């Protein structure tokens, strides 16, 4: 049996173990992870969590902690469903790159080829008026937004909460999240807003992947959910992944944060919006398959989803000096990292305050789910937790605990 197939079988059937034998990881040092997360639960910082380390296609560490919901006291289990928020973006990126690989979509295509409302975009430029107050001028975009811009966050499309100055009022007035809308309507709403930066000049976090979701729909002729179900979720066996949890039998599997640390989305209520940037839910077992597929160079269990060269391309830095894309003030990948097509990419062995390998890729979500792929160590790590406030310290500690467990 292939290593990837072994990994798939183990993650599905696992009930709770830590099995580092032969994987160059110290069992004693891995036990520090167990102690750390048990303490997090005991101290009331998080309701529960799941941690998975997979090396060479085999589980090196797999453990659940605490409960999925403190109000029901249901235990954390490997079929628990988590809100991914921005960890949806790498999945949307893979879906888009499947279309690129097939020649149905090109990274240098202008976005307006697929969504005409994005032609002739304006960029908001702040200046100081005669009265000393900030004034917003709208100037033409110097070039069109491209599909590549969407994938690397260089489109100039930003989230409401990260836009500042007089342009912020445009976002407040637009109220783009109001009501029940689909991906087509959401893209039209965004197209009415001025861009915060000239396309291709600045890495700035925003709704780019939600617009990309609509591009996928236009090109494929399917909804985002239908396309991903047909091309990714179904073939990969990702039975717990989607946008909403509407089956009554599955709804009690949804992980909840502490009442004092809330999130604002209830995935049990179906909406028309299938957010490619923040709307997915998934399980540990499903994501283990998805990220193992990427670590394997685009294949799992004998089926190919992307070519190895396309995976290499996605996981390479796309905003380095040659690209001319400067980091925005709040640069989420962090020092020592660039950004590929949907993934932060480690470019330096040092610089960052976290241990890791050059070429490692990662990303996370606002509610605390987090992953990284370390191709030098042939390793996938998953942190599944719902804690908006504690996610930063936990992610940092987990990196130290894992790289501190290596024996050589």
Domain boundaries defined on the chain: 96-220
- pLDDT, residue 33, reads 97
Instruction: Say how far apart CA 396 and CA 392 lie, in whole Å.
Output: 6
Burial 213-241 (b: 16+ CB within 10 A, else e): bbbbbebbeebbbebbbebbbeebebebb
Pick the CATH number of 96-220 from 3.40.710.10, 3.30.930.10, 3.40.640.10, 3.40.50.1700: 3.40.710.10
Instruction: Say how far apart CA 38 and CA 386 lie, in whole Å.
Output: 15
Segments of the chain scoring below 70 in pLDDT? 1-23
- pLDDT, residue 162, reads 84
Q: What is the mean pLDDT of the chain?
A: 92
- pLDDT, residue 22, reads 54
- pLDDT, residue 256, reads 97
- pLDDT, residue 23, reads 66
CA atoms within 13 A on the CB side of 50: 27
- pLDDT, residue 19, reads 52
Q: Taking the C-alpha atoms of 30, 33, 34 and 40 in order, what is their torsion angle to the nearest 10 degrees? A: 170
**Structural element, H or E, at residue 227:** helix 224-228
- pLDDT, residue 21, reads 53
- pLDDT, residue 51, reads 98
Beta strands of 180-315 (E only): which ranges? Answer: 202-203, 281-282, 299-300, 303-304
Structure tokens at 399: 């990196």
What lies within 8 Å, CB to CB, of 391 at 6+ separation is 364, 366, 367, 368, 370, 385
- Which letter does DSSP use for residue 194 in this model? P
Structure tokens at 216: 């996928």
Q: Confirm if 196 and 330 have CB atoms less than 8 A apart.
A: no
């Amino acid at each position: 049996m292939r290593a990837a197939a072994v990994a798939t079988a183990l993650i599905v059937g696992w009930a709770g173990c830590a099995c580092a034998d032969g994987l160059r990881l110290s069992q004693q040092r891995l036990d520090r992870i167990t102690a750390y997360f048990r303490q997090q639960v005991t101290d009331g910082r998080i309701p529960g969590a799941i941690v998975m380390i997979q090396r060479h296609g085999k589980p090196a560490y797999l453990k659940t902690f605490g409960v999925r919901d403190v109000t029901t006291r249901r235990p954390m289990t490997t079929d628990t469903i988590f809100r991914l928020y921005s960890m949806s973006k790498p999945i949307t990126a893979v879906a888009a790159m499947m279309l690129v690989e097939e020649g149905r979509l090109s990274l240098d295509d202008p976005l307006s080829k697929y969504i005409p409302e994005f032609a002739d975009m304006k960029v908001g430029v702040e200046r100081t008026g005669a009265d000393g107050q900030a004034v917003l001028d709208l100037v033409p975009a110097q070039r069109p937004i491209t599909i590549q811009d969407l994938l690397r966050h260089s489109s100039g499309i930003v989230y409401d909460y990260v836009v500042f100055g007089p342009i912020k009022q445009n976002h407040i007035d637009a109220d783009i999240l109001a009501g029940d809308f689909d991906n087509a309507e959401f893209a039209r709403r965004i197209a009415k807003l001025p861009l915060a930066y000239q396309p291709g000049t600045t890495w700035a976090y925003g709704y780019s992947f939600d617009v990309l979701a609509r591009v996928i729909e236009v090109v494929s002729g399917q909804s985002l959910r239908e396309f991903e179900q047909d091309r990714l979720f179904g073939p990969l066996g990702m039975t717990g992944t989607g946008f909403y949890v509407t089956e009554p039998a599955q709804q009690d599997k949804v992980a909840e944060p502490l009442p004092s640390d809330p999130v604002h989305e209830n995935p049990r209520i179906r909406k028309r919006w299938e957010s490619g940037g923040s709307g997915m839910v998934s399980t540990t077992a499903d994501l283990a398959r998805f990220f193992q597929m990427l670590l394997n160079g685009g294949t799992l269990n004998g089926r190919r989803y992307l070519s190895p060269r396309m995976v290499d391309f996605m996981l390479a830095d796309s905003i380095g000096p040659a690209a001319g894309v400067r980091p925005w003030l709040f640069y989420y990948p962090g020092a020592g990292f660039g950004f590929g097509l949907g993934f932060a990419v480690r470019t330096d062995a040092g610089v960052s305050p976290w241990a890791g390998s050059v070429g490692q890729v990662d990303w996370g979500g606002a509610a605390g789910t987090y992953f990284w792929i370390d191709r030098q160590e042939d390793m996938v790590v998953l942190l599944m937790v719902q804690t908006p406030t504690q996610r930063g310290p936990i992610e940092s500690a987990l990196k130290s605990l894992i790289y501190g467990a290596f024996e050589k």
